[in-house]
Amino acid sequence: MALHHPHIVDVREVGEAEGDLHFLAMELLPGPSLETLVELEGSLPWRRVQPLLLQICEALDHAHRRRIVHHDIKPSNVVLCSDPWTKERCKLVDFGIARQNLEYEDESEAPLTIEGQLLGSLGYMSPEQLRGKRADLRSDLYGLGATIFHLLTGRQPFEADHLPGMVHETLYCVPPALDDIDVEPATRGGIEAVIHRALRKDPTQRFASAAEMGRAIAALEGH
């Protein structure tokens, strides 16, 4: 199923070339990715992050309504696509490991891995994905919660010097407070509440949909 949305990268052509090589041609986005943007500029202010998050929520809601889970929401998979003279816009990219649940009559038959690799990126991957359980739309919302934290602080919510420590942090620890972001205390508390709900270990305690998460983000002050 093709996804057509203002905040999802357009796929222009899918085909097969000589030598049994398959290709996927997508629109060229000017960029940078949000990960690169943070590397260049440091942590971003809430007034800039908020509208980008709302666009991502719209994109995810569009995909989820079509029963497509992205599996790898992170700053490097969100790319700016606006020119310097217009309102900043972004698009969600890299649906390469997304899965359409409708393709499988039995949900248990759907793959958890590709060529032995877990579906997702450590640091943004939900606890259920790390445990080898089935990912659903709430796993994408977990990745978005981790992305929000990264954009506002310049670091991941869970960090460790080694892989076992990283896994332990993801499975058992709560994200740190947002003490160093420049917003009003009430807004900071609201942002923390959104992040902490998105990063709940139990997916049933997270937002029920990207649309619900978007409404919570939109209700916060933008300055």
CA distance 108 to 134: 8
**Alpha carbons 133 and 130: distance in angstroms, whole number:** 8
- Catalytic (active-site) positions: 72
Contacts 24+ apart (CB under 8 A), 196-201: 196/145, 197/145, 198/141, 198/142, 198/144, 198/145, 198/146, 198/148, 199/142, 199/145, 199/146, 199/149, 199/157, 199/174, 199/175, 201/127, 201/171, 201/172
